[in-house]
Structure 1
Amino acid sequence: MNIISNRVRPIPTINRGNNSPTSKISVIDLPDEDSPGRSFTTSSTVNITLHNKPVDLQQELVILYKWMMYFGIGCPVRLLKKTRLHLYRLYSTAVLALLWFNFLRSATGIMYIERDDFVAQVVISAWFLQCALKATIWFCRDIKPSATEDFFKHWKTICQSQVSLQYGLGINQPKLQRSIRLTIAAIILLCIINTSIIFFARVGPIEETRNETTHYYAPLPSDAQIPLMALIPFETAVYFFPVAEFVLISKVLTKQFENLRFVVTECLKKKGSLIELFLGNIRAEHQHLAKAVYIADKTFSLYLAIEYSTTIAILTFLLYQLLIIHNQFSPFGYSMLVIWASAVALVISIISWFAAVMHEQAHEIVHFIHSVTVPSEPTGKYIMEMNMLLAKLNGTSIAFSVYTLLPITKAFILTIVGVMVTYFAIAAQSVEFIVETYT
């Protein structure tokens, strides 16, 4: 009979959180009850650096949710007392209504602008639509936070259990907190840059640039520019902050898959094979993480669908402006378009990359499972555990998806690039027909 005894023995630390604990995984072979002739006992211990203190991910992300709450992105009921909930709900409802008004106003303006501003107005309208849809998703998600709460509950109770921590699912809390702070700082910096560029373009000293940005406020008169410009910080925050939440959750899940793989590889180096109970525990912990991805995907899949669909349109028309009609813009106006196109491409690239890396790490362990030395007489349970683990690793992709239809992998990223190139070619050929029809 094969038994594995896991004992977590943290290194004594003072005020260091869970930054430097270790685990000792002892793999012990004992005589089988059905083979009384085996009287030997061997033991081997694998020293692995792991983090053995559970982390409350929801609590760690509170600082991010507070920033989102300040900009009216949703109404996070998990952060507020009932006495303040109604005020913040009213605030977020007002912000959502203004964002949809901004989109409808911009979409209506397409019918009243001049021919040369048609493409620019389409880009602006698509961006306003994307921001309004994101705000709507987060508003509905926080009004009925069942999927979000299910994810945090599963992650806290299952993926941070004592057994899970012993098998590599622990998180380095100081590094997680530092990553959250850096991510929020980067998002705030992007918000400041984007808002500053739009403000400077409209009210700055360059008259030619001010004339180029009149379509921002169509069909309303120029007198309405000040109240409309007050919405730009909210549009920018709604555009960038959801990316931060998605990236941080993706990073946490990726790190846990990496730690699980590390435990397997270290044990294989020491033992050369995986005993029955150890293999069963690894399969169970991998399944726990896979389920966490599945629950999180229900929260983010609609957001990802909106992100990809609208971003492809925005980038296509931005490239059209930069490559086809670039001679119509002043140097500052052209620079603004370059920066904006870079920011949009950066956002979709970050989302795609973190999602694809998480998918890759979720299946990475299969390469090491294939190198396991199989016992000469494997038990039925050993064969069943191995088959179940390999079926999970080689089966349906463990990944975030676009509205639960298309898993985001590295192959999917190449597909999106090909779609964008094709879409751009079609748009470049047909935009003149659209302009003639609607202007």
Structure 2
Amino acid sequence: MKDIFIVKMAGKTKVEKFEIKDQKMHSAWSDDSDKNVTSLKQILKLMLYGLAIAGNYSFSDINSAGENSSSIKSVLSKIYRTYVFISILIMVIKFIAGFFYLPTDYFYFSILCAVWSTYILCIQLYSMKATSSKYGHYEKVFKIWDQKIMPEFKELGIEYPSFKLRKGVIIVLVIAFILVVCNTAGLGVQIYISGGYFYTAPFESNPYTLTAYFILVTAEILAWIIPVAFVISLTKLIQEAFNSLNKYKSKLCEQNGCKMVENFQKIRMLHLNLSKLVSDLDEDLGWFYAIIFTFNIGLSVFTLYQIIKRTLTTFELVLYVFWFLCGLASIGLPAIHAALVNDAAHAPLDSIYYINVQDITVEKLAQLNLFLSKLTGTQVGFSTCGLLIITKEFILTIAGVFLTYFAVLYTL
């Protein structure tokens, strides 16, 4: 019986052995088809629809690779985005014109609204650049993810929690729409209390002008909140890609007694492709971070001044505090996720130092040195127009500026 058993095991074909090995390697990708979501557009699909509703993305570009978009849908998307852009531009002109028609009591509030509308207009201009086929990088990043990143993840058998992350994207989108509803509801209450002339100046206040104003501001609020939610979701997906690669590499290192693994070159190339994806995306997101930091820091500081130094009604105080917190969230949440991407991109450095380099070939040592030079050289992460990489130290600096300003205001 023993001899028969040995013969049967030895009689396995090469094809059978390969299938067993391949099945083990790709166990991370053997889930149900509903859970096996690998395309970046699939994971972000609902968020992209929210972004398109806000006028920052085209409905015709939401289709995944291989899906054709009709020319009619493309034209309608362009018309809709143009409508949103013109609406925001009208609001900027309206708030600037209000300086010449409103009493001096509304001076500070007019400044706040004019700067805020200009900020939203800049976000719209940025989104046009980012989604442009000629000047933007969004579509290029989506293609790199689908054609390079995920195939390499599958080849190495690295687990990527795409289904879980898609749920997280939906949660972020729901929270964003709740904030939109809260802002529009607060605006409605404010219009009801104040009588409305401030909001319609230089036009008369009547149901028609108030309705038009309410619609235009709702478009502004969407264009204010949804892009921030999108950037948070996108950077979270990239951060998790780096984390998954780091976990895989650390696990292999432990299993091999900190010896250099055979597929080290593939791991290094996958990290390099992820870094290249971040670099390409930063060509667009760098402008976004520069805009949100510049305007939101100014708006938050100005709002804090109003809260501390001016006498406000209870409703006005609640409204100003809410806007102040929204401004801080618009700065802090995208910055935190950008800093986490920077941390995750450089995390392999800790485990690489423990790799046993005794008796390794010259070729492997060269691969190790290349990886080390990448991790210790130029910072991998998102920047503010290429000026500063967003790190945890950068966030602490911003927090220190706010605390210093608050302390100065409080003591004056």
Give the corresponding residue for 2:146: 156
* Correspondences of 1:375-386 after superposition (within 5 Å): 375=358, 377-386=359-368
Structure 1 or 2: more strand by fraction: 1
**Alpha-carbon deviations, 1:332-384, whole Å to 9, x = none?**
11111111111221222111111111111111111111122221x33221221
Number of the residue aligned with 1:396: 378
Q: How many residues align?
A: 382
Q: What does residue 179 of structure 2 align with?
A: 190
| CA drift at 1:222 | 2.6
Could you tell me which runs of 5 or more consecutive residues in structure 1 were left unpaired when the two chains were aligned.
Answer: 19-52, 431-439
Question: Are 2:27 and 1:10 aligned?
Answer: yes
1:9-408 aligned within 5 A: 9-10=26-27, 15=32, 17-18=34-35, 55-79=38-62, 80-144=69-133, 146-161=136-151, 163-167=152-156, 170-203=159-192, 206=193, 210=194, 215-223=198-206, 224-275=209-260, 277-325=262-310, 327=311, 329-375=312-358, 377-408=359-390
Greater share of helix residues, 1 or 2? 2
Letter of the 1:78 counterpart: D
Q: 1:317 to 1:14 in 2, by over 3 A?
A: closer
For 1:168 and 1:13, the matched residues in 2 are separated by: 10
What letter corresponds to residue 225 of structure 2 in structure 1?
Answer: F
Asked if the contact 1:120/1:215 (under 8 Å) is kept, the reply is no
Residue-by-residue CA offset, 1:140-180 (whole Å, 9 max, x unaligned): 4334364111101111111011x433446553232122112
Cα separation, 1, equivalents of 2:261 and 2:31? 38
Contact between 2:95 and 2:113, CA under 8 Å: does it hold in 1? yes
Give the aligned CA root-mean-square deviation in angstroms: 2.7
Return 5+ residue gaps in structure 2 as ranges. Answer: 1-20, 63-68
Q: 1:257 to 1:13 in 2, by over 3 A?
A: closer
Q: Quick one: distance in 1 between partners of 2:29 and 2:131?
A: 41
Aligned residue number for residue 398 of structure 2: 416
What is the percent sequence identity of the aligned residues?
A: 23
Q: C-alpha offsets along residues 174-218 of structure 1, whole Å, 9 cap, x if unaligned?
A: 212211211211111111011111111112xx4xxx16x754444
Relative to structure 1, the CA distance from residue 279 to residue 339 in structure 2 (aligned partners, 3 Å threshold; closer, same or farther) is: same
- CA shift, 1:97, in A, is 0.8
Q: CA deviation at 1:12?
A: 10
SS at match of 1:390: helix
TM-score by structure 1 length?
A: 0.80
Encode CA deviations 1:238-281: one digit per residue, 9 max, x unaligned. 01111122111111111111111111221222222232633222
d(CA) in 1 for partners of 2:31, 2:159: 19
Structure 1 contact 159–289 (Cα < 8 Å) conserved: yes
Q: Give yes or no for contact 1:400–1:407 (8 Å, CA) kept in 2.
A: yes
Residues 170, 248 of structure 1: alpha-carbon distance in 2 compared, 3 angstrom cutoff: farther
Change (3 A) 1:114 1:414: farther
